[in-house]
Structure 1
Amino acid sequence: MRTIGLIGGMSWESSAEYYRILNEGIRDRRGPTASAKCLMWSFDFSEIEALQHAGDWAALTERMIDAARRLESGGADVLLICTNTMHRMAPAVEAAVGIPLLHIADPTAERIKAAVLRKVGLLGTAFTMEQGFYKGRLTERHGLDVLIPEATDRETVHRVIYEELVAGKVRPESREAYRAVIARLVAAGAEAVILGCTEIMLLVEPQDSAVPMFDTTALHAAAAVDFALG
């Protein structure tokens, strides 16, 4: 079994889900006493969040590269960045190490294409929804047509992530707000919705959407299980 290196703590709420899904996946494939071989570098997310909102992506890139190199030195055979937003610096991280990086958008896009869907709505942080690093990969590498919510809906989605979900707060009124955002994406033509923030899966479930939802956390972790058992 290969060793999975996890760059986590962004937030630890979703990193805990990665750990659970990885170990359940290995157990299901290998037997009741089997578990994943993994290493995790976990950030203090308060420091990461402050740099994100300050727009200091250079400092964030340095920290991500440092974490990746520590995991590689510790024996990791593959890297996972356990957050969608921080895939902004995935190319720099991948170039700085000698082990592969499993990009979170790729297994998600592959599953969407396997379902013969093309036009997708994207939920995530404002950084993920508005900047090109994530939408561009979905479009250019996978041929998907990506829709994002209107500005006020993007503000709502972003606020709930940073003020509630990263702190483990799951509020019914926020679930209703997300349902409404999803419904508007569907009305705009979305055939599916990508949960493009690793915490959103804590809030919404399949019944909250009229179209299929693709949970990047679960799909990313499942791809890591496949790689580990290669």
Structure 2
Amino acid sequence: MKKIGLIGGMSWESTALYYQHINREVAKRHGGLRSARVHLISLDFQEIADLQKQGDWLRMTEILQTAARQLESSGAEVLLICTNTMHRIAQEVQSVTALPLLHIADVTADAILAAGLHKVGLLGTRFTMEQAFMRDRLAARGIACVVPDEPGRIEVHRVIFEELCQGVVKEDSRQKLAALVRDLAAQGAQGVILGCTELTMILQPGDGGLPSFDTTALHAMAAVDFSLS
């Protein structure tokens, strides 16, 4: 079993889901008391969130590069960045380590194409919805993305940072997000990417009437596949 290296803590709520998904899948496949060999660097999300607000991607790159080097030195054999937003600097993180990096957009694209879809909605932080790093990666696989209008993007971002990242799940927020999914369907989306690792805490399959692609679970399953290969 290969050792899985996780750069987590962004937020710890979703990192805990990664740990659960990975270990439950290993136990499912092997039974008994089997669990994954996981190496975790958990960052202080307040520091990262402050840097995001400041737009200091250079400093964030340095922090994640340091974490990647630490995981490689610890004996990890594959690397995951446990957040969609920080894949904005995935290439820079990959550049400082020989470890293979499992890109969250790639495993999501695999699932979308396996479902026979080619146009999907994208929900996430404003960074993920408004910047090109996820959309371009998906477009390279022939997948088009649509996102909510600006008020919708502001609301999704607010729910993520003010509620989900702090462990708060509200029914009225779930209903608002489901309504945004319906709006994406009206724009021609055939499915919706839960493009923030916390969104799976609030949106369930079928909310808003579209099939959803849970990036947290998909990323975690890819890690298990690699570990057991």
Partner of 1:84: 84
For 2:218, the aligned partner's letter is: L
**What is the distance in 1 between the residues matched to 2:210 and 2:164?**
23
How many equivalent pairs are there? 229
Partner of 1:62: 62
Partner of 2:190: 191
Give, in angstroms, the shift of residue 95 of structure 1. Answer: 1.0
Give, in angstroms, the shift of residue 108 of structure 1. Answer: 0.8
**What is the distance in 2 between the residues matched to 1:206 and 1:114?**
17
**What is the distance in 2 between the residues matched to 1:111 and 1:219?**
8
Partner of 1:21: 21
Give, in angstroms, the shift of residue 208 of structure 1. Answer: 1.1
**What is the distance in 2 between the residues matched to 1:98 and 1:132?**
26
Partner of 1:217: 216
**What is the distance in 1 between the residues matched to 2:164 and 2:191?**
22
Partner of 1:114: 114
Partner of 2:133: 133
Q: Does structure 1 retain, via aligned residues, the 8 Å contact 2:179–2:208?
A: no
For residues 43-58 of structure 1, the aligned pairs below 5 Å read 43-58=43-58
SS in structure 2 of the partner of residue 96 of structure 1: coil
**What is the distance in 2 between the residues matched to 1:191 and 1:207?**
12
**What is the distance in 1 between the residues matched to 2:222 and 2:206?**
24
TM-score by length of 2: 0.99
1:172 aligns with 2:171: yes
Give, in angstroms, the shift of residue 94 of structure 1. Answer: 0.7
1:227 aligns with 2:223: no
**What is the distance in 2 between the residues matched to 1:211 and 1:86?**
26
SS in structure 2 of the partner of residue 49 of structure 1: helix
SS in structure 1 of the partner of residue 192 of structure 2: strand
**What is the distance in 2 between the residues matched to 1:87 and 1:155?**
20
**What is the distance in 2 between the residues matched to 1:159 and 1:11?**
14
Q: Could you list the per-position Cα deviations for residues 180-202 of structure 1 after superposition, in whole angstroms to 9, with x for gaps in the alignment?
A: 11010001100000000000000
**What is the distance in 2 between the residues matched to 1:53 and 1:136?**
23
Dislocated runs of 4+, deviation >2 Å: none
Give, in angstroms, the shift of residue 61 of structure 1. Answer: 0.3
SS in structure 2 of the partner of residue 193 of structure 1: strand
Partner of 2:97: 97
Unmatched tracts of structure 2, length 5 or more: none
**What is the distance in 2 between the residues matched to 1:211 and 1:161?**
20
Partner of 1:39: 39
**What is the distance in 1 between the residues matched to 2:224 and 2:65?**
23
